[in-house]
Amino acid sequence: MTVLSKGFGKVEGDHRVMNSEVSEPGYVSLRSVSKTFGDVHAVVDLDFDIASGEFFSMLGPSGSGKTTVLRMIAGFESVTTGTVSIDGEDITSLAPFDRTVNTVFQDYALFPHMTIQDNVEYGLRTRKVAKPERARQASEAIERVQLSHVADRLPHQLSGGQRQRIALARALVLRPKVLLLDEPLGALDKQLREEMQAELKTIQREAGITFVFVTHDQEEAMRMSDRIAVFNSGRIEQLGTPHEVYENPSTAFVAGFLGVSNLLEGASAQALVGRTGLVNIRPERIRLHGPGHKPDKDSSSVSGAVIEVAYTGANTIVVIRTETGARLISTSLNEELPGHKDTFAVGDKVVATWRDIHVATIPQ
């Protein structure tokens, strides 16, 4: 299903928001939005703003409410309470086709019997745009996703990645103010997915359209987004730039969902960092050395033994059990070949060090 848009979002300069403070009214604003399905509280009292031209991601595990929020912005789902507005206009009760948004789905939703060119022209045709003009605009959109050479083919004659790019062209040609993307890269293999992430980001920047992107893949969200809303059980646990949510997670859930964490609390935290609250040290900030190593100024250390080593190509992951009983994960770049004197094996005695400023306190 495609939602048709009304007009082109006005884009003046770079309106992307690079931190979590939105000073002007949001381009997309949700106020006290909740959604219940029978007994299920799918979305609970959400309030947030998405700025014009922003690449905004909703990230979270399955069932956390991301898709429901996207569908409420699109108008496919009604809100139980609250309001949704775009560019200052309350659209809560508008039908999907009356909203200035467009949606790209994971399953592409292309018409199988129409050529690529006709698929991309379709929305313009329903808007009664004259043939020469719609052919020109469609060709331009197809060129933007670099697929002019397949414009005469049918969808089944394209690869998955190409079909996804056409689905994007079909949405872009309608020049929506806001493009909603529901796990659009979910069906692609890892390599193609990474290529498409870079392309999507470039297309978004060039077109200056606000993207609202749903994913459960934290690397994907980090790579593309200006800001990320991390969802858990129908609520936003944290909203911030990729840096903010990774470096200063506000809850243990966010720390655990975005990358690998060494979460310590109580006696474990007291023994290692000298305080009992919940703290986190990212594995890439923990360095391992041979026995007897003394930490630098402003760093701390603990002795331990290696209990697990995993080689993953670019990185090696080493897990140690510290003499204080904690389990710490350390990751390092494989700058040397395996077997180099700096590599560790299970059973090795080690000293783990970290800089004190790399200990992040998680509010409780």
Which parts of this chain interact with ligand ATP (CB under 6 A)? Answer: 37, 40, 42, 60, 62-68, 216
CB of 68 to ligand ATP, least distance (A): 3
| Distances from the Cα of 226 to the Cα of 135, 156, 199, 271, 276, angstroms | 33, 34, 15, 37, 34
Give whichever of 134 and 216 is closer to ligand ATP, judged by the CB atom: 216
What six digits make up the tokens of 224?
Answer: 């593309």
List alpha helices for 310-356, DSSP H: none
Give DSSP secondary structure letters for 265-290.
-HHHHHHHHS--S-EEE-GGG-EEE-
Give whichever of 42 and 51 is closer to ligand ATP, judged by the CB atom: 42
CB of 87 to ligand ATP, least distance (A): 25
CB of 48 to ligand ATP, least distance (A): 16
Give whichever of 67 and 238 is closer to ligand ATP, judged by the CB atom: 67
CB of 318 to ligand ATP, least distance (A): 32
What six digits make up the tokens of 202?
Answer: 């470039």
Total residue count of the chain as it appears in this document: 364
CB of 106 to ligand ATP, least distance (A): 10
Give whichever of 39 and 298 is closer to ligand ATP, judged by the CB atom: 39
CB of 108 to ligand ATP, least distance (A): 17
Give whichever of 65 and 184 is closer to ligand ATP, judged by the CB atom: 65
Return the sign of the alpha-carbon dihedral for residues 129, 135, 137, 141: positive
Give whichever of 71 and 99 is closer to ligand ATP, judged by the CB atom: 71
| Distances from the Cα of 332 to the Cα of 284, 329, 343, angstroms | 6, 10, 10
- Tell me, what amino acid is at 9? G
Distance from C-alpha of 164 to C-alpha of 12, rounded to nearest angstrom: 28
Return the sign of the alpha-carbon dihedral for residues 268, 272, 277, 283: negative
Give whichever of 235 and 287 is closer to ligand ATP, judged by the CB atom: 235
Q: Which residues fall within 8 angstroms of residue 191, CB to CB, at 6 or more apart?
A: none
CB of 334 to ligand ATP, least distance (A): 33
Give whichever of 37 and 111 is closer to ligand ATP, judged by the CB atom: 37
Q: Which residue matches tokens 């593309």?
A: 224
Count other Cβ atoms within 10 Å, centred on residue 81: 12
| DSSP label of 329 | E
Would you call 145 helix, strand, or coil by DSSP?
coil
CB of 260 to ligand ATP, least distance (A): 21
Q: Which residues fall within 8 angstroms of residue 311, CB to CB, at 6 or more apart?
A: 334, 338
